[in-house]
Amino acid sequence: MSQGELAKKAGIHLQSLGKIELGKTARLSTKTTTGLSRALQIPQEYLEAVCKGVSVASVQQMKICPHCWVPGTEAEAIWLNPRSKYCFACGMKLSARCLSCNGPILSLKFRFCPLCGVPYKAPEKLARMSVK
Binding mask 101-130 for Zn ion (x = CB under 5 A): x-x---------x-xx--------------
On whether the CB atoms of residues 55 and 47 are closer than 8 A, the answer is no
Helix (H) or strand (E) holding 33: helix 30-40
Min dist CB 74 to Zn ion, Å, is 15
* Terminal Cα distance for the chain, rounded: 45
Per CB under 5 A, the list member of 16, 84, 100, 107 interacting with Zn ion is: 100
Helix (H) or strand (E) holding 16: helix 14-21
d(CA 40, CA 35): 9
- Comparing CB distances to Zn ion, the nearer of 36 and 94 is 94
Q: What is the 3-state secondary structure (H, E, C) of 42-65?
A: CCHHHHHHHHHCCCHHHHCCCCEC
- Judged by CB under 5 A, the number of residues near Zn ion is 14
Dihedral sign computed on CA atoms, order 35, 8, 103, 71: positive
Near Zn ion in 60-89, by CB under 5 A: 65, 67-68, 87, 89
Min dist CB 98 to Zn ion, Å, is 3
Min dist CB 14 to Zn ion, Å, is 33
Per CB under 5 A, the list member of 6, 42, 80, 90 interacting with Zn ion is: 90
Give the binding site for Zn ion (CB under 5 A). 65, 67-68, 87, 89-90, 92, 98, 100-101, 103, 113, 115-116
